[in-house]
A and B are shown apart, each in its own frame.
Chain A
Amino acid sequence: MSDTKSVKVLVVDDSRTMTAMITAHLRDSGFEVVATASSGREALEKFQAYRPQVVLLDIVMPEENGVETLERILHVDTSACVVMVSSMGTEAEVQDCLKKGAKSFLQKPLRKDHMLGVLSNVCERAGVAL
Chain B
Amino acid sequence: MSSRFFGQYLLEKGRITSQQLFTALDNQKSVTSPIGILALERGWLTAEQIKQILEAQKKTNYRFGEQAVLSGLLTQPQVEELLNDQETSHRVLLGEVLVAKGYLTLSALEKEFKEYDREEEKLSSELAAAFQNVRHKDLVKTFTDLMMIMFTRFAKQELKIEQCETGKDKVRLFRWVFSQKVAGETLEFNCLLSVPPKLLLQMASTMLDETVSAPDELALDASKEFVNIANGNACARLSENGLNFTMTPPEVYETTAKPYPVNAKDVVCVHLASPDAKLEVAFEF
Contacts and interface: CB of A to CB of B under 8 A. Distances in A.
Contacts of B17: none
Contacts of A113: none
Interface string B206-228: 01110000000010011011001
Contact of B229 (A61, A93, A108): A108
Contact of B235 (A14, A15, A61, A88): A88
A90 B248 contact: no
A17 B204 CA distance: 9
A86 B235 CA distance: 11
Contact of A90 (B207, B222, B236, B249): B236
Given A60-B247, A60-B248, A90-B244, A15 B225 contact: yes
A87 B239 contact: no
Contacts of A87: 228-233, 235-236
A86 B232 contact: yes
Contacts of B245: 88, 90
Interface residues of A, number: 21
- The A contact surface, by secondary structure, is loop
A123 interface: no
Contact of A16 (B209, B221, B249): B221
B44 interface: no
Given A88-B232, A88-B236, A109-B229, A15 B154 contact: no
Of A14, A17, A65, A92, most buried by chain B (CB within 10 Å of CB) is: A17
B240 interface: yes
A16 B249 CA distance: 13
A108 B247 CA distance: 14
A18 interface: yes
A62 B207 contact: no
A125 to B, nearest CB: 25
A87 to B, nearest CB: 2
Contacts of B230: 87
A89 B249 contact: no
Nearest to B223: A17
Interface string B235-253: 1101110001111110000
A108 B224 contact: no
Given A90-B239, A92-B239, A14 B249 contact: yes
A93 B209 CA distance: 29
B239 A91 contact: yes
B239 A109 contact: no
A92 B244 contact: yes
A90 B237 CA distance: 7
A120 interface: no
Given A60-B249, A88-B235, A90-B236, A109 B222 contact: no
Nearest to B150: A109
Contacts of B232: 60, 86-89, 108
B218 A17 contact: yes
B205 to A, nearest CB: 11
B230 to A, nearest CB: 8
Contact of B225 (A17, A86, A88, A91): A17
Interface of A: 14-18, 21, 60-62, 65, 86-93, 107-109
Interface of B: 154, 207-209, 218, 221-222, 224-225, 228-233, 235-236, 238-240, 244-249
19 contacts: A14-B249, A15-B224, A17-B208, A17-B222, A60-B249, A61-B249, A62-B248, A86-B232, A87-B228, A87-B231, A88-B239, A88-B247, A90-B235, A90-B239, A93-B239, A93-B244, A108-B228, A108-B233, A109-B229
Q: 7 closest pairs, A vs B, by CB?
A: A87-B232, A90-B239, A17-B222, A88-B232, A15-B225, A87-B229, A89-B236
